Amino acid sequence: MNEPDQTGSTAYQRAPEGVAPGSAIFNVLLAIASLVLAYQAWSIAGFKSLSSAGVFPMLATGTMVLTAIVIIAKSARREGCGDGRQFFGDVVSFRIVAFAALIIGYMLALQPLGFIVASYLFLSAAMILLYRKRFLLTLVISAVSVAVIYGLFRYVFVVVLPRGAFF
């Protein structure tokens, strides 16, 4: 049975000392992300040769997967790693989830919309989410920032950036 804490709440038990709230959930999410990155690294060149472009990313992500498995095994032996409510209530805020969604949206929009439009939309939305003041100034700063970044990468570093339907 849950004992009331200092605030009188009995919604969840606190994790034991030294155990971060929601650590088990975070460890599983870390392992899943490592597996996805390992697949992406393998898709670069597969196991064609030791000097192929995908060898270093595969070694790095393989290390990530192995360490994630070791961390999960160690944390499974400990009791009381916290529960999901504590993780999503205390650790992951709305802003973090919203910003992660913005990053995923940016990744998906980059190819069809192109660098300029996708970056402008991402930067504007991120600044509005985090700053929440001076809406028009945020839009202007986003436009100037994207223009400077585009100019630097396109003309100084001579990097071909994704072109979309508009630019």
How many domains is the chain partitioned into structurally?
Answer: 2
3-state secondary structure 73-106: HHHHHCCCCCCHHHHHHHHCCHHHHHHHHHHHHH
Residue 117 and residue 78 in one domain: no
Q: Which of 92, 118, 142 is the last residue of a domain?
A: 92
Could you give the percent of the chain with pLDDT greater than 90? 40
Helix/strand/coil percent split, the chain, to 5: 70, 0, 30
What sections of the chain are H helices per DSSP?
Answer: 23-45, 55-77, 84-86, 94-113, 115-131, 135-151
State whether 61 and 78 are in the same domain. yes
pLDDT digits (tens, 9 = 90+) for 30-75: 899 999 988 888 887 776 767 777 788 888 999 999 999 998 888 7
d(CA 128, CA 144): 16
- Both 76 and 100 in a single domain? no
- pLDDT value at residue 132: 80
Give me 86's structure tokens. 């504590």
d(CA 57, CA 95): 30
Contact 58, 41 (CB under 8 A): yes
User: Which residue, chain included where needed, has tokens 């460890």?
Assistant: 27
Domain extent for 73: 13-92
- Please tell me whether residues 39 and 73 are part of one structural domain: yes
pTM flag (> 0.75): no
Q: Tell whether the model's pLDDT for residue 157 goes beyond 80.
A: yes
Pick the last residue of a domain from 57, 92, 127: 92
On whether the CB atoms of residues 126 and 102 are closer than 8 A, the answer is yes
Q: Is residue 97 part of a domain?
A: yes
Whether residues 86 and 97 share a domain: the answer is: no
pLDDT digits (tens, 9 = 90+) for 79-111: 555 555 666 666 678 888 899 999 999 999 998
Stretch (H or E) spanning 51:
none
Structure tokens at 155: 């003309």
